[in-house]
């Protein structure tokens, strides 16, 4: 089969690999029809995530068709169209049994601090991902779901991570009616978080980024007020002024490890890999939320320490909430919102790139070329 393969920082290629095999009775092999590149894939691409091995295939957002199932699989049969949450999880460990699917203890030998994620380094379990023609999906009776007949496949792919993560980020903010919500980051997750904040009753939603074309999308797609932080000497002071010096009730960090806005933080984290992530957005979140407010973090960070302004969080009495999203818990409600027309996920898709050209796709996404927001990867088997 054809598969994207990591060759080292900033370098990937497509090569022939063996079609994955059933390795466990509850495995399924999925023929991928549509995948995506996620902003968090760029952390791998840039060599920031520890134990990212040459030869690994990335990709944790994908949908496809069941090709083969293991002997204990009861819910899927070959030919089913399925969407697969980015979480690899067993459904039966201490954490899964309480709904913490992203914190599963049975799928990742390499770390106890994180569950399993497709195509996201050995730190997340060493699973190959879906930027390929076929992928192994463990616990086929637990994670994947059949794509409803009425659902567009592109919407299904966006439901495997970006949309539920944004929606989850808004939930972690514990938004109550009338709250002012600031979202750092106008990528797909930030845009979905902003949109979701309205569903939860926000009175005002503000999105901050430095890419004007994404801020334009935040206005048109998420009905948000926007600020380009590059236009202000100090975005925190500007946000204080915008909230009558109170600060926002809720701030969502939808940026994560490669935050821009502070040269030293960015370079030490992304170029020299001396931090688990550049905490610029997180520090701005801590400083621009009101005292007693809530900071929700859904931007991805690596396991190495980062220079976070923890003292301010303490002194302001903040609630810090965060996790990788337990995707499948969000699906029933999000299906409802899509059917009702409140959410239109594929409006964020800007590029559809054949798997064979994925190296160009990664560079465009990494360098933010051509007004890119969400690139999908189209398999030749689609």
Partner 1 sequence: MTEPATPYRARKNTPPESRDALRARIPGWGVDLDPKDRPSFPREQPGIETGAHWDFPDRQPEAQPRERSIEHAMLPPVFGTSAPLKGASGAIRRYAYRRYSEGRAAHWLLLIGADRVDAWESHLKSLATLRPDNPVTETGIGSEFSGNGFKSRAGKRVDVNHSWMDPAIVAGPWVLAGLGAVAVVRALRGSR
Which residues in 137-156 contact partner 1 (CB under 8 A)?
138-139, 141-142
Is 184 among the residues that bind partner 1 (CB under 8 A)?
Answer: no
Q: How far apart are CA 350 and CA 106, in angstroms?
A: 36
**With b meaning 16 or more CB within 10 Å and e meaning fewer, what string describes 353-364?**
bebeebbebbeb
**Pseudo-torsion of CA 45, 344, 165, 89, nearest 10°?**
-90
Which residue in 290, 296, 349, 377 binds partner 1 (CB under 8 A)?
A: 290
Orientation of helix 235-242 relative to helix 280-288, angle to 10°: 30
CB of 248 to partner 1, least distance (A): 12
CB of 79 to partner 1, least distance (A): 20
Of 110 and 381, nearer to partner 1 (C-beta) is: 110
Closest among 68, 60, 67 to 89, alpha carbons compared: 60
Is 371 among the residues that bind partner 1 (CB under 8 A)?
Answer: yes
Restricting to residues 230-249, name those near partner 1 by CB under 8 A: 230-231, 243-247
Quickly list H helices, the chain. 41-45, 153-158, 162-172, 188-199, 212-222, 235-242, 263-266, 280-288, 310-315, 327-339, 358-367
Is 292 among the residues that bind partner 1 (CB under 8 A)?
Answer: no
CB of 161 to partner 1, least distance (A): 15
Which residue in 35, 85, 326, 345 binds partner 1 (CB under 8 A)?
A: 326
Closest among 240, 282, 287, 239 to 259, alpha carbons compared: 282
Q: Per the structure block, which two tokens stand in for 286?
A: 């801590």
* 220 to 182, 184, 195, 239: CA distances (angstroms): 17, 17, 11, 21
Q: How far apart are CA 160 and CA 334, in angstroms?
A: 11
3-state SS of the chain: helix, strand, coil percent to 5?
A: 30, 25, 45
Count of residues touching partner 1 (by CB under 8 A): 119
- Find the part of the chain contacting partner 1 (CB under 8 A) among 78-86, 135-143, 185-193, 281-289: 135-143
Letters for 23-52 (x = contact with partner 1 by CB under 8 A, - = none) are xxxx--------------------x--xxx
CB of 153 to partner 1, least distance (A): 22
- Find the part of the chain contacting partner 1 (CB under 8 A) among 5-13, 30-38, 149-157, 306-314: 5-13
Restricting to residues 334-363, name those near partner 1 by CB under 8 A: 337, 340-343, 358-363
Is 372 among the residues that bind partner 1 (CB under 8 A)?
Answer: yes
Which residue in 19, 65, 110, 225 binds partner 1 (CB under 8 A)?
A: 110
CB of 361 to partner 1, least distance (A): 7
Is 122 among the residues that bind partner 1 (CB under 8 A)?
Answer: yes
């Amino acid at each position: 089969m054809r598969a994207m393969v990591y060759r080292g920082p900033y370098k990937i290629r497509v090569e022939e690999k063996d079609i994955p095999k059933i390795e466990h009775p509850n495995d399924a092999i999925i023929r991928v029809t549509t995948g995506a590149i996620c902003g968090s894939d760029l952390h791998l691409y840039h060599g920031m995530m520890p134990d990212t091995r040459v030869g690994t295939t990335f990709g944790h957002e994908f949908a496809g068709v069941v090709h083969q199932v293991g002997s204990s699989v009861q819910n899927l049969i070959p030919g089913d169209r399925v969407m697969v949450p980015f979480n690899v999880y067993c459904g039966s460990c201490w954490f899964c049994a309480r709904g913490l699917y992203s914190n599963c203890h049975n799928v990742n030998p390499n770390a106890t601090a994180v569950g399993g994620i497709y195509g996201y380094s050995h730190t997340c379990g060493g699973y190959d991902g879906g930027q390929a023609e076929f992928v192994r999906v463990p616990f086929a009776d637990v994670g994947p779901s059949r794509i409803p007949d009425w659902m567009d496949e592109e919407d299904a792919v966006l439901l495997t991570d970006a949309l539920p993560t944004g929606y989850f980020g808004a939930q972690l903010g514990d938004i109550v009616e009338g709250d002012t919500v600031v979202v750092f980051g106008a990528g797909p997750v930030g845009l979905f978080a902003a949109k979701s904040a309205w569903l939860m009753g926000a009175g005002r939603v503000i999105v901050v980024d430095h890419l004007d074309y994404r801020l334009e999308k935040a206005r048109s797609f998420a009905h948000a007020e926007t600020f380009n932080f590059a236009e202000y000497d100090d975005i925190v002071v500007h946000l204080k002024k915008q909230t009558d010096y109170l600060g926002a009730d809720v701030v969502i960090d939808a940026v994560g490890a490669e935050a821009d806005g502070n040269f030293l933080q960015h370079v030490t984290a992304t170029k020299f890999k001396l931090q688990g992530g550049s905490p610029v957005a997180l520090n701005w979140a801590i400083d621009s939320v009101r005292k007693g407010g809530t900071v929700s973090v859904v931007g991805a960070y690596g396991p190495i320490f980062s220079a976070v302004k923890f003292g301010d969080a303490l002194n302001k009495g903040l609630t810090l909430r965060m996790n990788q999203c337990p995707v499948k818990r969000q699906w029933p409600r999000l299906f409802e919102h899509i059917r009702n027309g409140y959410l239109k996920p594929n409006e964020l898709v800007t590029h559809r790139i054949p798997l064979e050209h994925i190296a160009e796709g990664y560079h465009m996404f990494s360098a933010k070329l051509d007004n890119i927001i969400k690139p999908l990867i189209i398999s030749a088997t689609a």
